[in-house]
């Protein structure tokens, strides 16, 4: 059986009792290591779970997923995911591959950033489509995330922006080589995301000369390391967020609806930048 187990958002102790019991009876254990991070190292996890854990990077999961799946009916494999197993489409693909091979799959859920963001006081049922903000480069500067944010605001909905993570990404020059070279890890900050949003807004205004549904004075919420002991939350204007330092990753950014519920307004004042 393939067991896909959510680890939660913080450290080794966030795993469920059910998840830990399953890990300790599995023949192989993998940790998915490229869609998110925990506050502790792989060695710390191994000590707490009392087992050996194999690192599953993007190349293994997306290109060689069959290596992860159980080899026979007697083998149990655990695939550990930060947050909840269905927080990334990559994990859905792995589960579908298992079903195609008639391999039984067991899911153990846990907390996810998609629900934990409620800690900032914005009501979860008022969130619209979640968007991802990617790193730009000189040749690639997509802005479709902006259109989705505007669509949510026009429907009076909040937007969760998940910020880009680059872990063990091969350099363009090494893609065709047998021995790939990798770029340094990168984790987008709320300030970097705000800067890119401001650039999109400026370009849109130059094109239309019309008042926009999102501008530099709009309220936004920056969140960092949610679920960790040192999590950080701050609410301020988009312009101010461009210079905010919320410390180490992981970060995410929320663009609230234009009109807040009175309880949301009261709660979010706890995080207004003084």
Single pTM value for the model: 0.91
pLDDT at 185: 83
Cβ pair 107, 79 in contact under 8 A: no
C-alpha to C-alpha distances, 24 to 17, 46, 158, nearest whole angstrom: 11, 11, 40
Instruction: Output the pLDDT for position 58.
Output: 81
User: Do 100 and 206 reside in the same domain of the chain?
Assistant: no
The CA distance from 269 to 259, in Å, is 14
What are the backbone dihedrals phi and psi of residue 44, each rounded to the nearest 5 degrees, phi first? -65, -40
**CB neighbour list of residue 141: distance below 8 Å, 6 or more residues apart:** none
- Answer with the one of 55, 89, 111 that is the final residue of a domain: 111
Residue 163 marked ligand-binding: yes
In a shared domain, residues 223 and 234: yes
158 among annotated binding-site residues: no
Helix (H, G, I), strand (E, B) or coil at 96: helix
Last residue of a domain, one of 50, 81, 111: 111
Q: Which of 85, 111, 137 is the last residue of a domain?
A: 111
Q: How do the pLDDT tens digits run along the chain, 274 residues long?
A: 999 999 999 999 999 999 999 999 999 999 988 888 888 889 999 999 999 999 988 888 888 888 999 999 899 999 999 999 998 777 888 899 999 999 999 999 999 999 999 999 999 999 999 999 999 988 888 899 999 999 999 999 999 999 999 877 777 666 666 677 777 889 999 999 999 999 999 998 888 777 778 999 999 999 999 999 999 999 999 999 999 999 999 999 999 999 999 999 999 999 997 6
Do residues 233 and 134 both lie within one domain? yes
State residue 274's pLDDT score. 67
Rounded Cα distance between 24 and 50, Å, is: 7
Output the six-digit token pair for 22: 């399953």
Which pLDDT value is given to residue 59?
80
- Report residue 270 as tokens: 């706890």
Beta-carbon neighbour count of residue 102 at 10 Å? Answer: 7
Check whether 87 is labelled as a binding-site residue.
yes
Domain identity same for 10 and 84:
yes
Domain identity same for 10 and 38: yes
Identify whether residues 175 and 219 lie together within a single domain. Answer: yes
Same domain flag for 164 and 48:
no
**Is 113 part of any known ligand binding site?**
yes
- 251 labelled binding-site residue: yes
- Enumerate residues 6+ apart whose C-beta is below 8 A from 131: 145, 148, 149, 159, 160, 161, 162
CATH code assigned at 239: 3.30.950.10
Torsion angles phi and psi, residue 142, rounded to 5? -65, 150
CB 175 within 8 A of CB 169: no
Task: Please report, for the domain that includes residue 60, its CATH number.
Answer: 3.40.1010.10
* Distance separating alpha carbons of residues 73 and 49, to the nearest angstrom: 24
The whole domain housing 68 covers 2-111
Rounded CA gap, 236 and 216, in Å? Answer: 10
Query: CB–CB of 15/28 below 8 Å?
Result: no
Q: Which two tokens stand for residue 36?
A: 């998110």
Sole residue written with tokens 């854990």 = 53
Residue at token pair 């290109």: 63
Q: Does 109 belong to an annotated binding site?
A: no
Residue 103 sits in the same domain as residue 154: no
Tell me, yes or no, whether 193 and 220 share the same domain: yes
Q: How many domains does one find in the chain?
A: 2
> Are 248 and 144 in the same domain?
yes
Residues 101 and 9 in one domain: yes
Question: For residue 154, what are its two tokens?
Answer: 């026009």
pLDDT, the chain, mean = 91
Residues 148 and 210 in one domain: yes
66 labelled ligand-binding: no
């Amino acid at each position: 059986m393939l067991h896909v187990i959510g680890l939660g958002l913080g450290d080794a102790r966030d795993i469920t009792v059910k998840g830990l019991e399953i890990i300790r009876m599995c023949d192989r254990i993998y940790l998915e290591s490229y869609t998110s991070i925990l506050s502790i190292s792989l060695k710390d996890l191994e000590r707490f779970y009392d087992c050996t854990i194999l690192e599953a990077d993007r190349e293994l999961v997306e290109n060689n997923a069959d290596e992860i799946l159980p080899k026979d009916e007697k083998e149990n494999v655990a695939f550990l995911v930060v947050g909840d197993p269905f927080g990334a489409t990559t994990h859905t693909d792995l589960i579908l591959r298992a079903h195609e091979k008639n391999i039984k799959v067991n899911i153990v859920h846990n907390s996810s950033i998609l629900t934990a963001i409620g800690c900032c006081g914005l009501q979860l049922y008022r969130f619209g489509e979640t968007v991802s903000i990617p790193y730009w480069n000189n040749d690639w500067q997509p802005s479709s995330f902006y259109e989705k944010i505007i669509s949510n605001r026009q429907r009076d909905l909040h937007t969760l922006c998940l910020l880009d993570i680059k872990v063990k990404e091969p350099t363009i020059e090494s893609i065709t080589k047998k021995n790939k070279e990798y770029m340094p890890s990168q984790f987008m900050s709320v300030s970097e995301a705000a800067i890119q949003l401001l650039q999109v807004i400026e370009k849109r205004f130059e094109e239309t000369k019309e008042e926009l549904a999102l501008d530099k004075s709009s309220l936004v919420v920056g969140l960092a390391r949610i679920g960790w002991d040192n999590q950080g939350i701050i609410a301020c204007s988009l312009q101010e967020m461009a210079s905010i330092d919320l410390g180490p990753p992981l970060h995410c950014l929320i663009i609230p609806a234009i009109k807040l519920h009175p309880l949301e307004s009261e709660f979010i004042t706890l995080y207004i930048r003084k």
